Amino acid sequence: MARKKLSAGMRRKVQRGFAVLALLLLIAAIAIVAVLDRRVTKQFEGRRWTLPARVYAQPIDLYAGQQLSAQRFVDELERLGYLAAAKPDRPGTYQRRGNQVSVYVREFRFADGPQPARALRLGFSG
């Protein structure tokens, strides 16, 4: 099979054709991106703060001598979705009796590793 060489004029026409095709594809891509950008911006503009934000973790550091009342601790438990129960025998439940709070904490992953669910009893004074 013999290969035919393109003449210089024909080669320029082919190159010009590829350049025009590439330019048209680039213009089409820019137009598509612009249309999609306009749609997304229009859909979410002005609704930036209407989507609900929720904090899923806010640890409470407990230590002896901390200025924390039993009521404030119960308020924090309820904010975290803990339920009052006659007997806190499953994770996510608590019971308050005066200045004592029994709570069955949920399992969680702490910096030093996973912590299992467990029952705790805290006493508050003052």
Tell me what pLDDT residue 25 has.
97
Q: Which of 40-49, 61-70, 113-122 has the lowest mean pLDDT?
A: 40-49
- Which fold is adopted by the domain 70-123? Penicillin-binding protein 1b fold (3.30.2060)
Report whether pLDDT(57) > 70.
no
102 vs 112: which has the higher pLDDT? 102
Name the CA dihedral angle for 34, 40, 41, 43, rounded to a multiple of 10 degrees: 140
> What pLDDT score was predicted for residue 85?
95
- What gap in Å lies between CA 76 and CA 126, rounded to an integer? 18
Q: For residue 67, what pLDDT band results from cuts at 50, 70 and 90?
A: confident
Give me the residue spans of the domains in the chain.
Answer: 9-44, 70-123
Mean pLDDT for 71-84 is 92
pLDDT at 49 > cutoff 80 = no
Give pTM, 2 decimals.
0.52
| Residues 70, 82: Cα–Cα separation, whole Å | 15
Mean pLDDT of the chain: 86
